[in-house]
Amino acid sequence: MRVKRTIRVYLSLAILLLLNFSCKKDCDEVQPAFSKAVLLENVADNIILPALNDFESTLSSLESSFFTLQTDPNQESLNAVRANWKASYMQWQMVKIFDFGPIRTNGFKGAVGTYPTDTVRVNSNIINGGYNLSTADNADAIGFSALDFLLYRNDALIDFISNEEYFQYTLDVIQKMKNEFALVKSQWSTYNSTFIAGTGTESTSSFSLLVNEFNRDYELAKNGKLGIPIGAGTLGIQLPEYIEARNSGISLELLQESMRALRIVYMGNNSGSGLGFYDYLVDLEKSSLASTIDANFNQIINTVETFNGSLESEMGSNVSGLNELYNLVQSQVVNIKTDMTSSFGVLITYQDNDGD
């Protein structure tokens, strides 16, 4: 009996040791679940809020420099306005990605980012006066594109010196942007906590909205900034009248900056140290896809850098190069719109017409 009891004791101890070893092994291997709340918090605090602050600052600088132009209209003061306009336009490439919450509610993206501008409408407003820049009729006569026309047309300085109505209209466009963005920014402070809390995959969640607007912004850049002007969807028939920022000639710079901004959101920040879509893909064991998307963004950005002239000049001298760039940009769509979003369990809810 004593021998049997001893055997039972040893067997019990052995089982306990095995269980303890198994538990320890399993516990050591358990990794904390990926936190989309942390991802959204990083995007909100380290990408969106700084972008909003920087954009507000550039708009203030644009207005201030325009007042200087009013006081002393000369080429130097006009160049300063142009420089601040460009700085604000470049910063807009980041802000425009986040077309949800206050930006969507206030219709701000359409109010500042619609192009090309209706130059006939702009000139008519200046000549006739009595305009209301908030009406639908003037949707193509405001924002950055209108300023591209007003600041860079051949006789711009002469008009600023001699035409009070021309000056007033330009000021009205600038102040409309500045005042409406002040409302957007003030509302974001309240919306911020709502944004961070929306970690689900339903179409109204913050995470789903972020994924959708990331993709939509990419496709708008692909088509509007490049594909439509170079004739990608019109059998190679170029449409230079649709070039963004055609008067200033900075369209390719805007395309490059737009891709940089998208990559920052994808990586979590400029250095890649914050949580972004890249990190979520890696956590989902999609490391190859994660790296491919990042590599493609870098290749697109570097390829744009190889062009020396404006988009319009390159359309005349380097059609093959632009087509290669477009194909490169196009090849990224399936990675982010199909493979990435399906990995996240998010449905694309916006409509597009190019068949990807």
User: Model confidence at 256, in pLDDT bands (50, 70, 90)?
Assistant: very high
27: in domain:
no
The verdict on 191 and 208 lying in the same domain is: no
Range of the domain at 85: 33-198
Query: What is the reported pTM?
Result: 0.90
pLDDT of the residue at 177 = 98
Q: Give the tens place of pLDDT for each residue, 190-205.
A: 999 999 999 999 999 9
CATH number at residue 128: 1.20.1420.20
The verdict on 219 and 334 lying in the same domain is: yes
pLDDT of the residue at 353 = 55
pLDDT of the residue at 24 = 39
Task: Judge whether residue 318 has pLDDT over 60.
Answer: yes
Mean pLDDT of the 263-288 span:
92
pLDDT of the residue at 33 = 79
316: in domain:
yes
Domain boundary among 150, 181, 198: 198
131: in domain:
yes
The number of distinct structural domains making up the chain is 2
Mean pLDDT of the 208-215 span:
98
Instruction: Supply φ then ψ for residue 178, to 5 degrees.
Output: -65, -45
Domain boundary among 148, 168, 198: 198
The verdict on 176 and 204 lying in the same domain is: no
Mean pLDDT of the 275-294 span:
97
13: in domain:
no
What CA–CA distance (Å, rounded) separates 324 from 339?
Answer: 23
Domain boundary among 141, 176, 198: 198
Max CA separation in the chain (angstroms): 116
Contact 278, 209 (CB under 8 A): no
| 3-class secondary structure, 276 | coil
The verdict on 230 and 179 lying in the same domain is: no
pLDDT of the residue at 354 = 52
What CA–CA distance (Å, rounded) separates 331 from 284?
Answer: 22
The verdict on 141 and 108 lying in the same domain is: yes
Contact 70, 146 (CB under 8 A): no
Q: Which residues of 223-240 are buried (b: 16+ CB within 10 A; e: fewer)?
A: bbbbbbbbbbeeeeebbe
pLDDT of the residue at 253 = 98
The verdict on 119 and 236 lying in the same domain is: no
Task: Judge whether residue 81 has pLDDT over 90.
Answer: yes
